[in-house]
Structure 1
């Protein structure tokens, strides 16, 4: 602990934050109305407090006190982890405060509708400054550090799909819920008829609707790459240039949060549900492009001459395939996510396999060209996934395979029919994750148990309400549970 406390002087990226960063943020904060200090809870939902610029100065010294409530609630706000004498994480007993430490390297400012807001992502710590066992950002940071110890730097490209919808009322028009019983979501309407893939007409109309959001989205930096119209009505895809892994996860946390927050004031609603609860929806996915580079930035994923997968790249891909089923809970964490894997959706993976340039495979390999462009695209992810845990599971699987020098299996010609079946429901994914030694080692004993109990609470409430999962038929419960928050 340094002389100014556990706040700004304690970066989650050692060597990045220094006193000049503190001075720069202090100066910038004087020009904003509020500062959101936020973190991603176990579900990947951003939780924050809005601080006055004056209060931020104290946060830079000592961190921000937060209740641990978001760590113990499932997606429907049912208490799934004990805070009494049954608490298995000592720090949850009595619901005492934790501390969120701002990482000043994530500082950014948005201007929207005349209000300037500062944003800084933090990481959960215990009150004594030690790392919090239930922090998901911690997990990704540790995975990246382990890769660095092997001489590798993970690089990630984000490809995220979502739906743009029109709100039917100016004010809140849903019905409130309670602890473990969600109310009805706000009514929405489609913005177009869809089913004209990559239509310029539909894209231009969507861009017109999104125009007020471009100013804050530009704050994400130059890594914003493309926007395109997908198949579904109002379904868009946004991609980002390759980034370092922790920065990529932070980008997704901010992107999802900003799109949902800023769209609302313009009569719009953004949905990241894997299959939204309206007729004619096409599933949305989160495809993760990934590779490794040496610490000096040179390519290691592919042969320098042929551009085809190197032994390191082949081991990485084999690791992704091998761990896919047991990490499915981290890539597809909701009941709704598993509608994507039904037989009607041929481009969503249902089996653990890989192939070259085949979007029906779990892992699509793009190689044979420029060595620095070779990468693996894992198509398993749901847009609601916790970005830190999803990326951690991917990078850990790949690095494990590369370090163990796994021999790459043969590509499959029919990826929807060949390979180990992936979990078909959230219940299946919970069982696979719970029994996985690798998953426990990845996230730590406490977070492993917490995730199982949080997701089992969610699954049990779904079964009690609906009786069972029916692929392709989005239930009323799913619409209530995920419609507004996701």
Structure 2
């Protein structure tokens, strides 16, 4: 959500000598144009990143001299089959190349070349695309899944625009997973005890941390729109500016990394778990979505003559309503995600939509015709941004191409209505696995791989005995 009370971005430049400005990296398109950029800033190392299915940064770190000699490198294709636990599902029936532990090739996307401002020595980072030996994109790669969906829009003459909002918690360092998380100590020397939604003073408790977040973000060209304190204890939200889906997914990917690293330097954990603390609200990744005509730039959700909503707007909404259950496991990818989606929380539990209604899964914010958009409030902050954005846009695309009709907007509390979304990870995986439409739009090989990963993660989870079980079953059953 947006708030009028927000911490403003400071204009002063960070005091990190040797860290390259993002503006200097723009226009680089290959090795030759990158050499001067690295040399002028004495860059010694580069981190070559590729986001996996969990949104984790995989890749290699190497000297710049070695990178410039061969910027296209290899990694096992199996990284796109790795669970968040580090395990792998059974490969039977998946991809022969994975069973053989075949390599894929990482190709740098030079538009993502930025600094690593928290590094001790001058270091750069660049996000890579995964390619097969014969030069085709790896279909299971999250960046490619989002590109695939974006290309479907472009073939229709449409250009999707998104603006993510990321919620997260600050917590005390916790090295023992058996102990509950606690809010951190702020500059006053006291932990936050009560909920301080939109409180400026509660944000100021962590001023030094947020100054570093802004500084690091500026060096990477990451544009923060607003920063607010959310409803939970030490729960924050950062809103990003709107733009191209792939660019914004890259920004969320880098933002998560930036916030974690900056927090660690202040002896604080930043967590994007959907539900890190009992009794506190969950954290979301809200996605604002609009579609413009690629030639005219006109928002196709609004009639250019009357300014009112168009049939495509309602069909986009209808597609979200119909396919949210089928994409749920990409919006809520872990067992913990479903602890957020409960009736007694602010998180949505159904596919209702409404005008400026935050209890609905789909909200249409107040706006003029040019900014008419749909906010998907279902995704949790633990979602891979590439997959969450791709899945949400895929649902809207199907709605428009199938000319679906949306329900009437809801004006009351949508949480009082029945559950319409999957209530567990396995249920959500089954919905996705059985949807031929989602397979067609997002890629059948990706869906098969993703389903296998999620089922393996659930199997691993079931091997753990929870405190609830020891509390209520140990001596009572």
Cα distance change on mapping 1:89 and 1:222 into 2, 3 Å: closer
Distance in 2 between the 1:464 and 1:315 partners? 43
RMSD: 2.5
CA contact (8 A) 1:35 1:120 kept: yes
Please report the TM-score for the alignment, with normalisation by the length of structure 2.
Answer: 0.85
- Deviations, residues 38-62 of structure 1 (Å, cap 9, x unaligned): 11111121112112111221343xx
Distance (Å, rounded) in 1 between the aligned partners of 2:214 and 2:314: 39
Identify if the C-alpha distance between structure 1 residues 130 and 440 changes in structure 2 by more than 3 Å, giving closer, same or farther.
same
Q: What TM-score do the two structures reach when normalised by structure 1?
A: 0.83
- C-alpha deviation, 1:283, in angstroms: 0.9
1:356-371 → structure 2 map (5 Å cutoff):
356-367=355-366, 369-371=367-369
How many Å separate the matches in 2 of 1:127 and 1:185? 46
Secondary structure in structure 1 of the residue aligned to 2:136: coil
Distance 1:357 1:256 in 2: 28
Q: Mark the CA change 1:298 to 1:109 in structure 2 (over 3 Å): closer, same or farther.
A: same
Residue 238 of structure 2 aligns to a residue in which SS? strand
8 A Cα contact 2:394 2:442, kept in partner: no
Q: CA deviation at 1:443?
A: 2.9
Aligned-residue offset at 1:258: 2.0
Moved >6 Å (runs of 4+): 183-188, 467-470
What is the alpha-carbon distance in structure 1 between the residues aligned to residue 104 and residue 178 of structure 2? 32
Give the whole-Å Cα distance in 2 for the aligned partners of 1:259 and 1:374: 30
Matched with 1:445 is 444
2:46 pairs with 1:35: yes
Aligned match of 1:202: 202
**CA separation in 1, counterparts of 2:183 and 2:408?**
46
**Deviation at 1:255?**
0.9
1:293 aligns with 292
8 Å contact from structure 2 (residues 203, 228) kept in 1: yes
Which residue of structure 2 lines up, in the alignment, with residue 58 of structure 1? 69
Pair 211,223 (structure 1): closer, same or farther in 2 beyond 3 Å: closer
Contact preservation (8 Å) 2:172, 2:269: yes
- How far did 1:366 drift? 2.4
Unaligned 5+ segments in structure 1 are 1-16, 175-182, 474-486
1:416-435 correspondence runs (5 A):
416-418=415-417, 421-435=420-434
Any idea what SS the aligned residue of 1:128 has? coil
Residues in 1 aligned to 2:313 and 2:419: alpha-carbon distance in whole angstroms: 21
Q: 1:88 to 1:110 in 2, by over 3 A?
A: closer
Deviations 1:162-197 (A, max 9, x none): 0112337xxxx55xxxxxxxx769976534224021
Secondary structure at the aligned position of 2:325 is classed as coil
1:236–1:248: structure 2 CA closer, same or farther, 3 Å change rule? same
Residue 387 of structure 1 is matched in structure 2 by 385
- 1:164 equivalent to 2:163? Answer no
1:417 and 1:448 map into 2 onto residues whose CA distance is: 33
Matched, 1:115 2:114: no
Structure 2 residues not aligned, in runs of 5+: 1-25, 186-191, 472-477
SS across alignment from 2:117:
strand
Q: Residue 335 of structure 1: CA displacement?
A: 0.4
Number of the residue aligned with 2:217: 217
Q: CA deviation at 1:114?
A: 4.7
